Amino acid sequence: MKSIHHASPSARASGPDKAVERLFELAVLLADGMERGLAERGLSRARAELLWRLGQQGPMTQRDLSRALACTPRNVTGLVDALEAGGLVARHSHPSDRRATLVTLTERGAAATAQMQADYGDLAMALFGDLDPTDVARFIGDVDRIVKRLRGEVVPTAEPG
């Protein structure tokens, strides 16, 4: 379990500095929390994401998975190996291309993705379920603005201390 951010927020940071500090803190909490939850079910972030993709988009070739996950085909081989050994996915021959392998969710794999989906909804309600929809919408707008800027801006090499 790693953490990007440990120290308590500086008392005298400027508004923008404080805001970025909190954002990093939030990012770390989300990532660590997710990883911890996944680990309790024997899943890593990388394996869970592959599973999730199959759940969202249905059976795929490993090549498609490597594109969806933005990693190398070799990497997919390893992830599928592990998930297959755990009984969460299965390899099938592709009906029209004998080079390709179709990866599908097993029953256990489908159950795992359903559980992930449910947990995701639970988190959403725990964080925002009691808020006025107007406030939620405003907050979404705020985050959207930041996301858009990040997609166009240089991102820091630093972390809050």
Partner DNA sequence: TATTGTTATACTCTATAACTATA
Partner DNA sequence: TATAGTTATAGAGTATAACAATA
Residues from 70 through 109 that contact DNA (CB under 7 A)? 70-80, 82, 91, 94, 96-101
Minimum Å distance from CB 61 to DNA? 4
**CB of 50 within 8 A of CB of 79?**
yes
Minimum Å distance from CB 152 to DNA? 23
| 18 burial type by CB count under 10 A (0-12 exposed, 13-18 middle, 19+ buried) | middle
Query: How many angstroms separate the CA atoms of 76 and 53, rounded?
Result: 12
* Residue 142: Cβ within 10 Å count: 10
Task: Look up tokens 């489908």; give the residue.
Answer: 110
Applying the rule CB under 8 A, the residues between 111 and 150 that interact with a copy of itself are 115-129, 131, 133, 136-137, 139-140, 142-144, 146-147, 149-150
Q: Which residues does 116 contact at the CB level (< 8 Å), separation at least 6?
A: 48, 51, 52, 55
Query: How many angstroms separate the CA atoms of 12 and 107, rounded?
Result: 53
76 scored as a contact of a copy of itself (CB under 8 A): no
18 scored as a contact of a copy of itself (CB under 8 A): yes
Residue 111, contacted partner among a copy of itself, DNA, none, CB below 5-8 A by kind: none
Minimum Å distance from CB 99 to a copy of itself? 25
Applying the rule CB under 7 A, the residues between 15 and 54 that interact with DNA are 44-47
Binding site for DNA (CB under 7 A): 1-2, 44-47, 61-63, 66, 69-80, 82, 91, 94, 96-101
